[in-house]
Amino acid sequence: MENVNQITLNLPTDLLKTTEELIQTGLVKNLEELVVLALHHEIVKLKQLQQHNQQLPENSNGVDDPIWGLGDNPVVGGVSDASTSIDQYLYNY
């Protein structure tokens, strides 16, 4: 790689564990390759938002999270209290 700068990352333990699992499967060679791929991916998404004059959502981690779309197309499913108990259904508390 040309013009490389070395940095230190502080990663949450669960994220690092998942990263190590991906490396073991051979999907990526190492942590550095995965971080570079992830940053490129996020930069492309941010540039697309910028081109459309859109702002980053408040919870940028939820950009691809399907949970954020749960209430978009409600259906009748026979559960009378789904909206008031959604935390219990999703997070078991």
pLDDT in tens, 5-60: 888 988 889 889 998 998 999 988 999 999 999 999 989 988 888 888 777 666 55
Phi, psi of 29 (to 5 degrees): -75, -40
Q: Is 0.75 topped by the overall pTM?
A: no
> What is the Cα–Cα distance from 59 to 41, expressed in whole angstroms?
17
Q: Look at residues 31, 33, 32, 36 and name the one whose alpha carbon lies nearest to residue 17.
A: 31
